[in-house]
Structure 1
Amino acid sequence: MRINNHTEKKGLAILGSTGSIGTQALDVVSRHPDHFSVEVLTAQNNADLLIKQAAAYKPNTVVIGNENLYDQVFSALDPLDIKVYSGENALTSVVQMESVDMVLTALVGYAGLKPTIKAVEAGKPIALANKETLVVAGQLVTQLAREKGVNILPVDSEHSAIFQCMVGEFHNPIEKLILTASGGPFRGRKREELLAITKDQALKHPNWDMGAKITIDSATLMNKGLEVIEAKWLFGVGLDKIDVVVHPQSIIHSLVQFEDGSIKAQLGLPDMRIPIQFALGYPERLKADFPRFDFMDYPNLTFEKPDMETFQNLRLAYDAIERGGNVPCILNAANEIAVAEFLKDRIGFLQISEVISECLSKVSYISDPSLEDYIETDKETRIKATEII
């Protein structure tokens, strides 16, 4: 990886800097000013926070996705000699800047796909917090990364855990990847108990502090389904080698089982700054003063099977990757629309799965999609999901 000679710091482009992952990534940067410089910050709508971040971290460039907010951001940052752009095209351009050594994709949902592809094409290593990029177009993105010799380093706690367990083991075949899931706020409840669930109840995750969309995905277990698909592409294993186990304490972040029967696990308190820092600093483990895990505080670590009858999104995700083609893209787009409508109180909690299931049966199947096919599938699915709702 190229390091800027004039600073000897790793220049970061943080896409989605005002979200949960983005703000925690900036916390990591603040703790290691000798290791990282911020070259690019981007946000979609949160102009106020983007301006504050830019004033604090002095990036070369910022992008505000919502073009209506451009004037506000420009007038605030122009006196600081910070370049300001807006819109989707700007987002795909700034990741290719010469001064950028690594791109942290922390955008929510489908929006992460195009900028990630452009960054890979430009040869930039990716710290990937946007699992939807690999859910939607995993084959295309991983193939492109191989061709360009680009590393995709996972930021999700589960995939980071697997990656950490595999360091030094890359030549040893994997027998099984075991992704852990907290089970969300409704673990143990049956379908009839979820009929009247409100968004406020669904937004109360027992262990993690995350953005609204990923928190709802965690409550429905769709987040774990998306992670299964992401794991398939990140680690190049078949679906039959990926298991999910519910682990309510969220201390073991995931496990890898090898052919001799040995299992490696990565443990720690549920703090996203740890996997963020590991990805940004890789291959070095940077010192941190984050709170430490103590076994005496967690005398019981428990494990359960996921309930796919109640939480059907996990089953839908397994089915989608098994069918392949553009089906995971359909799954993701339908879920994004359904979750957005649930957060607006327009559909019930259980109807999220119903909308996704109907889209999976009605949107056109493409066995070997191109990038244009993925874009068209995403558009078609969003229209269909909106019609269904």
Structure 2
Amino acid sequence: MKRFLLSLCLFFSLTALAEEQTVVLISIDGFRHDYIEKHDAKNIRAIAEAGVRAEGLIPVYPSKTFPNHLSIVTGQYPANHGIVDNNFYDKERQQRYRMGDGVEDSTWLTTLPIWNLAEFQGVKAATFFWPESEARINGRTASYYYNYSTPTPNRQRVEQIIDWLKLPAAARPRIVTGYFSVVDTMGHRFGPDAHQVKGAVQHVDQLIGELWQRLNNEVDVPVNLILVSDHGMTPIKADQMIDEDSLPVDKSLFETVNSQTRFMLYAKEGTTEAQIAAQRERLLKLPNKTFSIESNQVLSSLGVKPGPRKADIILAAEAPVTFTGRPPESRKDGGTHGFYGNRDMDGIFITAGPAINANAELDRFSNIHIYPFMAELLGLELMTEIDGDSEVLAPLINNN
């Protein structure tokens, strides 16, 4: 009997990708790598035990929501997909980008997300929220998508994913994305250790458990579930926040953007290299400063490239320090992300399904490697240069 079962497993292992596979990619915003144990996410733990769980998912720099969600679905560093932070300035355009601006003007994005890759090769895609998934990138969207609306009930997202996967074959998507924001929201308000975060984790855990059960019991096609998060969360302190107005910055020479964990200075047209150097020196000489100035060498190692969206001077804080524009009376302890080299920034990566080798083991890895993995599961050919490496997650696929 044991020999028969082993032979059966080998048969399915070799033939899993002979069928057309479906991928459901779910992001739980702000779900730190250790929340499964810390906040007792039983259903997500069970899915991990049925498949593969990485030691951690390393976010791209900066560990912010929009750049990381785009890196997950493009396999590119932010410098290449275009969304280099949640909020930033472009010196060529002389415009500021704010979260979601690509919906109205898709020229902010210079990339090919997985739903476009699929659609261009005749595979239908669906997105129930994903940062910038409503944008008409390369002239098109997924076949099915929703305009982002925070109040949309979380359970509706599960229902819609199942309904899409029950469509007739000609109309059914084979790549579906879903997104939950509540864990991140509670993490920011109360910090990662709070009971409110535990409540949010357990709420989403219940929904993921329902989704997993229904994918296995109600859907007639082979579905591989991928659970990710864009970043983790770490505590911050109100009494250690740096008032941006206390920084000696000449705003006649620089546009500034406060990204909470980073404060960025962009040279205005006409600002000289000497003036940039003088401004840098003035900031370096501040006594008792609780920030550092990023070097070009470090930025390059993190995938940052020269260009109009790269700030000329970047001030970086380390947790629990952040930058703020709020008056002291409205500052509160809480949580945030956006740091690097901090294990608290790691998210999760879990995958399970008929095409997944559940015996594989996976260390921490960068989220840029998920895109070629999904393309392989879907049988899609890459159409653009990416930063991710298909070999990193190749051991997870059953036909290897």
Question: Structures share a fold, TM > 0.5?
Answer: no
| Normalised TM-score (structure 1) | 0.30
**Which has a greater percent of helix?**
1
| Normalised TM-score (structure 2) | 0.29
